[in-house]
Structure 1
């Protein structure tokens, strides 16, 4: 597996805002500049754990140990990349059983979820890897934590994390679980997560173009009946401009990376 620091991936491109070049000595550590540090890290982690319990009470966790292991295996090289940029986080991935939900999301502090509907839409490992790497980018850059800190206030989040505001926790958890996502991220947050997504998938040995092809599919299926794809697109709008921007990033990296379609279809056959 190629080992590639995020900032090295973009030596041929402009800075993504968090991993910029400093003189001729290399890259500023992502850990030095991530987020605005609105929410204390321990609060973020404890809040994420509590919200994860809420999500798993609202949604059915897939009862297929083999498929759970496979999806986590698929994600592990991406998590290894995220760990370099933000260590000390439990990046825990769980598959939720809902074929109508074409969605994936990450909570503050590391818990991540992908619905079976998204696994069914994808045709290969690279497409799933692109989305998961994007969600990892939100965790690494602390987008979810800072978003909640801005929305609810840091003091309330600290109280929830300490178990002192159970009603507010229930309301927040129900809101996130019901939407199957965090609230809509800013355009800058989405671009930053896209950049992480492309960088992490490439560094992990996947074809980074997987994120492009999956977003293109989502755009085509947006109006299809019987799916909840609009929930993902509401917080991750797949506009033509955004897809083109991701494609430019991919093009700068040049050809390479694995799609692994045959193995993916074999391992997810139980869903089909």
Structure 2
């Protein structure tokens, strides 16, 4: 039995429906593009920390040192001024810091530099191992024991390469270019001014505290200086508040420091 084709029964859109489809097609394409862009942005946000971590691991020591030296030149040009502390006090603190023996193998590079200027009460470490200590912070600290606690903490940041990792995370493209081309000028220009104002996340501060405690304990120095340092600075007003802004104290850090100093 033959089946007759009935053209009228073919599912052909009506003219009005065709017009509607033509009207909605650009909107549908735009929605698909928007969804694709949103997916790319979300994927990049998820992948960015991993990419930054891999880039930081790929930075060779020579390039890391050159980056820190370039940052120091920029900071000395625009932000920092020569220290006004007496030569005697600078020499005493430098000698005490230099005498500290690393608690673990693979001691990080370190060089203590005294500065003053617009950074305020600050202590921070550059990827080259240059540790900047400002006059304003030194004048706010009660004694040389507290100064060594600050420096030990900064050395903890250097040992874990926190500054390098943070700078790479905030400037991935310049960091990638620096690794490929071996030229840090673009990266220095992107990140140098941020170094004195970078506030550290809790995990980075805890890691730096742990290294500082190991360092002080290894050298027979009191661990109480770490906890007392935060308590002293947090309990007063003045230029030291700038230091607390980039090294925020918190109950968890204080609890860990008190627990360890009580052992």
Question: Normalization by structure 2: what TM-score?
Answer: 0.69
Deviations 1:110-156 (A, max 9, x none): 01011122212222222111110010011011111111122212314
Partners of 2:118 and 2:226 lie apart in 1 by 20
Aligned counterpart in structure 1 of residue 96 of structure 2, from 71, 74, 88: 74
Partner of 1:264: none
Is 1:62 matched up with 2:83? yes
Deviations 1:31-77 (A, max 9, x none): xxxx9725332221111111112222221121533222222112113
Flag the structure with higher helix content: 2
CA RMSD across the alignment: 2.6
Checking the alignment, whether the CA contact within 8 Å between 1:46 and 1:161 is kept in structure 2 is no
Partner of 2:137: 118
Which one has the largest radius of gyration? 2
Q: Secondary structure at the match of 2:128?
A: coil
Describe how 1:174-253 pairs up with structure 2 within 5 A.
174-176=193-195, 180-181=196-197, 183-221=198-236, 224=237, 226-227=238-239, 229-252=240-263
Describe how 1:30-179 pairs up with structure 2 within 5 A.
37-57=57-77, 58-63=79-84, 64-78=86-100, 80-81=101-102, 84-87=104-107, 89-97=108-116, 101-153=120-172, 154-158=175-179, 162-165=183-186, 168-176=187-195
Partners of 1:99 and 1:39 lie apart in 2 by 30
Deviation at 1:213, TM superposition (A): 1.0
Deviation at 1:210, TM superposition (A): 0.8
Deviation at 1:159, TM superposition (A): 7.0
Deviations 1:69-114 (A, max 9, x none): 2221121133x316x5334x54111111359933211111201011
Range moving further from structure 2, 208-217 or 117-126 = 117-126
Checking the alignment, whether the CA contact within 8 Å between 1:99 and 1:116 is kept in structure 2 is no
**Residues paired across the two proteins, number:** 205
Deviations 1:211-257 (A, max 9, x none): 11111011112xx2x52x343223211112311211112112xxxxx
Partners of 1:145 and 1:49 lie apart in 2 by 13
Describe how 1:15-34 pairs up with structure 2 within 5 A.
none
Partners of 2:96 and 2:258 lie apart in 1 by 22
RCO higher in structure (CA 8 A, sep ≥6) = 1
Query: Cα gap change, 1:161/1:41 in structure 2, threshold over 3 Å: closer, same or farther?
Result: same
Partners of 2:181 and 2:232 lie apart in 1 by 38
